[in-house]
Amino acid sequence: MKKELLMASALVSTLGAASIAEAVTASTSGSMHIGQEFDSPGGSVDTNSTIDQVNFSVSLSEVTDNGTTISSSFMLENESGGVDDDNAIKLTFAGGTAVELLNAGNASGTHDISIPGAGGQQGVAGTTTANAPTGLDFGAGATTLGFEWHSPSDFVMDGLKVSASYSSGNGVAATTTVKMDSSWGVGATYVTKAGDADITIGAGLAGSDYINTGTAVTNDQGGMHFGISAALSGGLTVAVGIADGDTLTDDGSTVALANTQVDGSVVKAGAKYVTGDITLNVGLVSGEAQDSDTQGTAGTTDDSWDEMNASVSLVVADGVSAVLGYTTVDVDDEGASTDNGGSAWYVGATMSF
């Protein structure tokens, strides 16, 4: 309880000390994705469906009398059927240091490298209990009661920016259901040049603690990631990233929340080439994991996810692009090939402002 009270006091005192102005400046942005997807999942019939996804984002910010910027945002999105409002209150101070309060996330995930991959809204519809990770930040968990600190640019050395975060539970008593009690994370991004190439290196480390009244989990959520991206002359960008760690997931048992421990790793690579109004993307994902449906028992067989994707987009007018995308996935569950992979095509358009 002391941790929660201290965090709440810090939020109130920080906002109070900032001498908040009366007006707030708002800016908006959004996009619409509309097209047709053609899905060929393994082990079931081919399907096609119309994709119609819209989001509308509102960013709010204002500068106080002492030069502190207070900002936040929210997004309306029809693909989730509601409002995405899990955004922090961000305070950016005159020297470039920033602090996010509430819904701040994990600093490790803040610094994962962006890996190019296919545009479009194609996705293979198969379902499986295979738990191989596909994202670099799969070990970076957080509760909503937390903060994240960001250094200014060129911290200690030119091109370096670092972050650190901590989050705490809400004080609810432990039950038989596993729940996150606290988390921490650190991350860094370094930007430099090598000849004509712009190089970006990102890395992060994270850890979380889970509690329940039953058998304690063998490995709490946490892990590391590292990635490097190179923007070359002539419009080509290439990137690769790796991640390794542990997480928990729900495989649909009688336990309502996270019940399956996952020890996994993933490698992602991709390339983007821009020439005139045409953008070409290609991406690779290879994830593997060992999981267990009972806490305390380590897995002995592998789950895997191997994906290739590609797309081409053409700018046909300001803010409007035509997109053709393709994805193919192979899935293994407990060391055996499954019918839950497949392939999918997408053809459509994106309109954004």
CATH superfamily of 2-27+36-352: Porin (2.40.160.10)
105 and 88 Cβ atoms separated by less than 8 Å: yes
pLDDT per position as a tens digit, 296-305: 566 678 889 9
170 vs 3: CA distance, rounded Å: 10
Give the single-character DSSP code of 28: E
Specify the pLDDT at position 85: 54
- Where do the structural domains in the chain lie, given as residue ranges? 2-27+36-352
Of 221, 301, 220, 214, nearest in space to 255 by CA:
214
* pTM, to two decimals: 0.84
Of 226, 260, 258, nearest in space to 131 by CA:
260
pLDDT per position as a tens digit, 162-207: 999 999 987 777 776 778 889 999 999 999 999 999 999 999 999 9
